Amino acid sequence: MSRWGLPAFHGRQIYSALWRRGAGYADMSDLPGALRERLARDLPVSGEVLAEQTGDRGRTVKALLRFGRHTVETVLMGYRDRMTVCVSSQAGCAMDCGFCATGRMGLLGNLSAGQIAAQIRWAMHAAARLPARARTRPTNVVFMGMGEPMSNYRALSGAVTRLLDPAGTNMAARHLTVSTIGVPAGIRRLGADHPQVGLAVSLHAADDGLRDRLVPANRLWPLAQVRAAVGEWRDRTHRRPSIEWAMIRGINDEDGQARLLAPIARDLRAHVNLIPLNHVQDSPWMPSTPSRLGAFADLLRSEGVNVTIRDTRGSEIQAACGQLRLQHTAEPAFV
C-alpha cells in the first residue's frame, strides 16, 4: 500500500480480511471501490477452483485448485468436534510410494508459502456450505495432501507461520500436523522452528526390506535414521508423534509386521494410526479386510501400543491424494 502511495493501514485491513475472514476483494466494503478494483486487477488472489466433489452426506468436500501452472488437491472434513483441512505442499511428489496416486505423477513443482496457506481460504468458503450441524470455521490443518512437506520445507514453514499469525488466520499450533515419509533433516528443523506443531511419520513398514519396496526413500533414510530423528523431535518438543500406517492387504497387515512395529512405537512413545487404504483405480494394492485391520490393531494393543483406526472419509469421491487430479489428466495406469 505504501508503494502505491496509499495509507499503510489499508494493508492491515486487507491482510486481516484475506486471512482472518477468507474474504475476497469484492467483499471488503471498508475499502474504496477504486482500490478494490486495482487489487483484483494487479494482485489477484490465487487459487482457481477447477472442480469440487462432496461426499459423506455433505461433510467432506474435495477441491482441485490451480495455482498458476500447478494443480493440487485440498480436502475439507467436517467432524462432530472439529473441522480439518488436508492441504498439499507440492504438485505431485518425488517420493514414488507405490500405493499412492500422487506418487505416480512424479514431482511437478513446489508450492509457495502463500499457495499452501491459500488452501485454507478455500476451506473457509467451503465450510460455510456444509450442513448446518457441521458448519464451523476450520479448526485443524494436516499437511498430508499432495507432496512431501519436508522436501519443500521453506515454503511449509512460511505457511505455518502465516496460519499461526494472530493478525491473520490465528490458528493454534497444536491444531497443525505435518506428515512426512521420514526426512530426518526436516523433522529436526520442524522441531526447532515450530515445536508446538504435531508430527506424523508415514512408516507403513517396520523393517527396511519391506519399507524399501513401499517407500523407496527408505533407501536414502532407513528406519534407524528416521527413528533417531523422531526421537530427537520428541525430546525437544515433549510431544507424542504419530505413526501413520496404510493397511495394504497381504503386504504390511500381517502379524509379523505388527510385532516389529510394536517396539518402535513403544520406544518413540508414539500413537499408531492405522489407515484403511484408499484403493486407486488400476493399482495392484488393495485395502486390508476389516477383520485383518481389527486383528492388527488388537495385536498392537496387546503389546502396549496406543492405536486408532482412522475413520475413512470421502471414499465415494476418491478423496485419496491425487485421485481427483488423475480424473482431469491423461495419466497412464499403474504398471
**Catalytic center residues:** 73, 321
R_g of the chain computed on alpha carbons = 21
**CB-neighbour burial class of residue 85 (10 A; exposed 0-12, middle 13-18, buried 19+):** buried
47: phi > 0 → left, psi -120 to 50 → alpha, else beta; which? left
Q: What angle do CA 115, 121, 125 make, to 5 degrees?
A: 145
H or E segment and range at residue 218? none
Phi and psi dihedrals of 194, rounded to 5? -135, 70
Q: Are 271 and 264 in contact (CB under 8 A)?
A: no
**Alpha-carbon 30 to chain mean position:** 34
H or E segment and range at residue 197? none
- The type of residue at 148 is E
Please give the Cα distance from 26 to 72 (Å, whole number): 25
Q: What angle do CA 89, 93, 95 make, to 5 degrees?
A: 120
Q: Are 55 and 314 in contact (CB under 8 A)?
A: yes
Q: Give me 48's grid cell.
A: 482457481
**Helix (H, G, I), strand (E, B), or coil: what is residue 282?**
coil
H or E segment and range at residue 41? helix 33-42
Number of C-beta neighbours around residue 286 at 10 A: 14
Residue appearing with cell numbers 512437506: 149
Q: Are 50 and 71 in contact (CB under 8 A)?
A: yes
